[in-house]
Every structure is written in C-alpha cells, then in structure tokens.
Structure 1
Amino acid sequence: MSATEQTAAHGTLAARLDTRRWDRVETDLDAHGNALLPALLDHGECEAVAAWYDEDRFRSRVVMARHGFGRGEYQYFRYPLPELLQELRTRLYARLAPLANRWNEAMDVEVAYPARHEQFLQRCRAAGQERPTPLLLRYGAGDYNCLHQDLYGEHVFPLQVAILLSEPGADFDGGEFVLTEQRPRMQSRVDVVPLRKGDAVVFAVRHRPVRGTRGTYRVALRHGVGRVRAGRRLTLGVIFHDAL
C-alpha cells in the first residue's frame, strides 16, 4: 500500500476508495481473477461490523453443515442495510461496473451494467430478485466453506468483495481464503489470498475472460475458506446482485 493509501486508510471510506490504484486492481483482476484492497476498513470498523452478528439486522441464518456447504454459519442482511454496508455496496459497484462491462464484452456476453448500483438493483427487482445478499460469515475451530459460486438468480454481477474482520494469528489460525480456476483442458489452478484484518479481496463470481492463442475464452472460478484450526474468523461478504 502506498503512503497515500496508508494515510487515506484512516479517513473516510470514500477517501480510501478514491485513493486506490484502480488501474492496478483491474490489472490484478485481469491476470488472476482477484485483487487485494488493503485496509479497506479500519480496526474499529471491523469490530463494529463483527458485533452486528448478534444484533437484529438479518433476514435469515444458514448453518452450513445442514446443507452440505461446509461448517460454520452465516446470516443475510435484511433491508435497509446498515449505512456502512450500503456505502460499500454503492461505491464499490461504481468502481467495478466498467471492468464488469469490459469482461462481458470480451466473453461475448450481451449484458451491460448501468453506472449506478440502484439502477442494477431495479433490474434485479424486475426479475423477482428482491432479497438482499450481503452477509456476515462466522467460523469457529474446525469450520470451513466448500468451494462455491454466489449466483442467486438470472441477474448476476460478475464481481464480489469479501472483507476479513478478524486478525490472522491473533483471533484465529488457518481459514485461508481460496480461489480455484478451471481452464478448458487444463487442471484446476488454486490461489490462496493472504488477508489481514480490514483487508478486502475483489474476485470473480463465476467466470472471467482469459486471452489464449486462439482468442479469449471463459474461465470458471469458485471460492471457499480453508479449515479454521483455532479461534474465530468473521467475514463481511458484499454481493451486488440480489436473490430470488
């Protein structure tokens, strides 16, 4: 993180986002399907968001083992979203929509995303996708999240964001964020993304374009969390499309 980014990390969320090297973020997403946003939230914000888990802010709770998703649990927020989460969703979408459109064009996907998140949500609502998808995930010792994709309906924004709210080595051990990528006629590639408390990772939800010798093709991605060996790990997930 540059000196400017370090200074902005202690300012407003808007300032933190405005000072990011978004050209570098796009380069990393194009090359790897994921990109880091270091210190997107400060430690106080992480503690405040983590505390939401025990508050009345959610529309549903999922125990992963009951559905074969892994171990641990998560809760989906209900509308209206907390102010900080709403701002994250709105501002991050605006930064990522141009890249999402470029990716779709490269993959010959005839879907264009509007500049504002509210316009995209109107499209979701028209298709019956009205339930909010941002979520808080909580893992204890022995918990993990199987590889998956967060789709929820016809309309899917191709990027999402996860923010680690706990400190590796202090609050928990293990629990690495993992991405797999399946290219045609090749074995799967695994990418383990190192995160510290307050760091965010932007990553592809389902597909990303990769340029090959015969042109551009789609690569399928899945994400998950490795086994937590000790302690407790909390994560905020920011998904931009809503659910049926």
Structure 2
Amino acid sequence: MMDGPLAENDGNAIIASYDWSALSAELDAYGCAVLPNLLDPAACRDLASLYAQEQGFRSRVVMGRHGFGRGEYKYWAYPLPAPVQALRSGLYPRLAVIANRWNQRLGLEVRYPGTHADFLALCHETGQGRPTPLLLQYGPGDYNCLHQDLYGEKVFPLQVAVLLSEPGRDFTGGEFVITEQRPRLQSRAEVVPLRQGDAVIFAVQHRPVAGSRGTYRVTLRHGVSRVRSGHRHTLGIIFHDAL
C-alpha cells in the first residue's frame, strides 16, 4: 500500500488554503467548482501508477460491458491509500457545510455530520459498507456516459474528481462534462477545463436553484467526452459508501 507524498496534515493545509466562500458561490451558481493544484505532479503520477496493480482494489469495471461508455475503472478496497484517505476525510467537512445549506434551501430534513467518520458510520448502519473512491483509466476512443454515482439510501450530494494526467501531453480530448436539467427547459452543459492535479467538485444528483416561486431542485449528470489520443487517469472521491 502506498503511503504517498500527501500526508494528512499536508492535505488539510492545502484544503484550508482555498477560498471556500468563493467555491461555495461557484457551486451555488453552476453546480461545480475547481480546486486548482490540489495534488502535485508527483502525487498524480504515483496514484495513476497504481492502476496497473491488483493489490488494494476490490473490483474492476469495464464500462463497455455495462453500457457505461468505454474505458475502465477500479474501486479501492479498505484501507484506502493514504493520499486518498487524506483527501476524503479532509474535504468532507468543508463540503458538508455546503450540503447542509443546500438541503435547508430545498426543505429537506437530512443533515450531514461534521466528520466523515461519523457520516460513514451512518452509511454502514444501512449496509453501505463498500468503499467508493475509484481510479479511472481511459485510452483512445474511450468516454464516460452521463451518469450519477448513487450507491444506496445514504447519498452525499457532492463529490470530487482529480485529474491525474496532463492534457496536451498525456492525452487529448477527454474533457469533464456536467449537464443540468431544469424543469421545462432544455439541458445545459458545462465543460470544466482541468490541468494535472486540478480537482472539480460537483453535485452528485441535484442542486438548489432560486426561482420566481422559491427554490427548486435541478438534476445533474456528469461524464467525460471522448479521449482522442493518449491515456487519461482520474481519481474519483465519492463520500458515501456502497451497498
């Protein structure tokens, strides 16, 4: 198991350095926001290199076999690699504040606890005990269909994807895409430009939007456009565990 270059304290310091008021406003307005340089190039390369290993993963999914697109990904097993665990536990408290505010705006009673360990305990009480952080690999012609990562009753409404490869050097194409469907309107697409080490925070399923008659809920889906050349690796951080 890789200890990695990102210790938990280092990860917390990086996470604390972002302007979370501005990020919260971006998420309110668009359903997504970028964390520039969340991981350095060495950390990105170390994580991407793990894809070739069998140890440490609980399953491998070939997207084409399930109609998910083309490409593949692996779910990590517990214990997670130290950098992944540091990001998952460090990002969660910041995102829980936003998630709770969104639920309040939507009139939902669900509130998320302040620590990720406490939230996972709630997941495990309902039988959701399988870890969901994953490592994705795309080659030429691969893509990820628009989808939502829902794994059971307990769903945390925000997740994070970190680009581990460098666009233009390691691959071309392969843009992160998020779409939003508002009632009685056509879908809106957002293409999020990322560099190696950048992360995008985005809504898993819904987000609140202010309308003329109050706040209403819009539906979001995310995916990856076709990779035109090279290979693209991504770290996915989902905060709820799976059934």
The alignment's TM-score, normalised by the length of structure 1, stands at: 0.95
Q: Is the 8 A contact 2:159 2:203 kept in 1?
A: yes
Q: Which aligned pairs between 1:138-177 and structure 2 lie closer than 5 A? A: 138-177=137-176
2:14 corresponds in structure 1 to 16
Three-state SS of the structure 1 residue aligned to 2:64 is helix
Three-state SS of the structure 2 residue aligned to 1:154 is coil
Q: Is the 8 A contact 2:179 2:220 kept in 1?
A: yes
Does 49-58 or 195-204 show the bigger shift?
49-58
Following the alignment from structure 1 to structure 2, what is the Cα–Cα distance between the partners of residues 15 and 79? 24
Three-state SS of the structure 1 residue aligned to 2:140 is coil
Task: Show CA shifts across 1:36-57 (max 9, x none).
Answer: 0000000000000101111211
Following the alignment from structure 1 to structure 2, what is the Cα–Cα distance between the partners of residues 57 and 33? 32
Q: Is the 8 A contact 2:209 2:218 kept in 1?
A: yes
Matching of residue 62 in structure 1 with residue 26 in structure 2? no
CA RMSD of aligned residues (A): 0.8
Q: Which runs of structure 1 show a deviation greater than 6 angstroms over 4 or more consecutive aligned residues?
A: none
Three-state SS of the structure 2 residue aligned to 1:169 is coil
Aligned amino acid, residue 102 of structure 1: R
Following the alignment from structure 1 to structure 2, what is the Cα–Cα distance between the partners of residues 91 and 17? 7
Matching of residue 80 in structure 1 with residue 79 in structure 2? yes
Kindly tell me the number of residue pairs found equivalent between the two proteins: 234
Q: Which aligned pairs between 1:36-115 and structure 2 lie closer than 5 A? A: 36-55=34-53, 56-115=55-114
The alignment's TM-score, normalised by the length of structure 2, stands at: 0.95
Q: Which runs of 5+ in 2 are unaligned?
A: 1-8
Matching of residue 34 in structure 1 with residue 27 in structure 2? no
Q: Is the 8 A contact 2:132 2:238 kept in 1?
A: yes
Following the alignment from structure 1 to structure 2, what is the Cα–Cα distance between the partners of residues 159 and 14? 18
Following the alignment from structure 2 to structure 1, what is the Cα–Cα distance between the partners of residues 35 and 16? 12
Following the alignment from structure 1 to structure 2, what is the Cα–Cα distance between the partners of residues 13 and 91? 7
Following the alignment from structure 2 to structure 1, what is the Cα–Cα distance between the partners of residues 177 and 217? 20
Identity of aligned residues (%): 65
In the TM superposition, residue 16 of structure 1 has moved relative to its aligned partner by 1.2
